[in-house]
């Protein structure tokens, strides 16, 4: 699983001039434990996202269970599904409407790089949502399992706080970059 991006999501505000380390640590801890997702399910990956919020793979355990329908109250935008050219301006507008600090999780192969639609004669699919907005965590899979989405949240929390919540599995540590 790849990750890229900063601990502080890009926003429209200027970064603070004075940094107080202890306060920032507490703030990042609070923000990591209370990531409210924006329901932005576009296609099949949305089913896996809903299933991740369901009883079997409960996302609410990590504080991320309050899905808000409006971008003004959401912290993290889970782009779950194929982004078509028609939908692209809406994606950018929603991202702009989110208040800083904000993060983006690109879920599924379509959001990462166009997925199965990345062909020579592709005319309608945006090949990867990172052509439109900065992405923090990529979750590969077609569709990724709900546990992969939970791992994405744990990765995002690790990005913010610096410490990982659960130890990584031995298979995952043998990844090639």
**Using CB under 8 A as the criterion, which residues of the chain lie in contact with other proteins when the complex forms?**
11-13, 26-27, 29-31, 33-34, 39, 54-56, 58, 60-63, 65-66, 68-70, 72-73, 75, 97, 99-101, 165
Nearest CB to other proteins, comparing residues 99 and 134: 99
Nearest CB to other proteins, comparing residues 104 and 112: 104
- How many angstroms separate the CA atoms of 68 and 3, rounded? 24
Q: Least distance in Å: CB of 52 to other proteins? A: 11
Q: Least distance in Å: CB of 83 to other proteins? A: 20
Residues 6+ away with beta carbon under 8 Å from 112? 106, 128, 129, 130, 138, 139, 140
Q: Least distance in Å: CB of 62 to other proteins? A: 5
Q: Where are the alpha helices (DSSP H) in the chain?
A: 21-32, 45-52, 88-97, 109-113, 146-161
Nearest CB to other proteins, comparing residues 33 and 113: 33
- How many angstroms separate the CA atoms of 94 and 92, rounded? 5
């Amino acid at each position: 699983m790849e990750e890229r991006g900063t601990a502080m999501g890009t926003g429209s505000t200027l970064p603070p001039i004075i940094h107080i380390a202890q306060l920032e640590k507490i703030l990042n801890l609070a923000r990591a434990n209370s990531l409210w997702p924006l329901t932005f399910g576009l296609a099949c990956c949305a089913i896996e996202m809903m299933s991740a919020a369901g009883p079997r793979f409960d996302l609410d355990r990590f504080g991320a269970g309050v899905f808000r329908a409006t971008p003004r109250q959401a912290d993290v935008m889970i782009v779950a599904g194929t982004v078509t050219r028609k939908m692209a301006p809406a994606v950018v507008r929603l991202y702009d409407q989110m208040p800083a600090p904000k993060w983006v999780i690109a879920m599924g192969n379509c959001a990462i790089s166009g997925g199965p639609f990345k062909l020579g004669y592709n005319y309608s699919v945006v090949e990867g949502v990172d052509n439109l907005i900065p992405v923090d965590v990529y979750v590969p899979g077609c569709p990724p399992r709900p546990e992969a989405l939970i791992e994405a949240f744990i990765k995002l929390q690790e990005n913010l706080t610096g410490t990982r919540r659960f130890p990584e599995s031995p298979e995952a540590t043998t990844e090639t970059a």
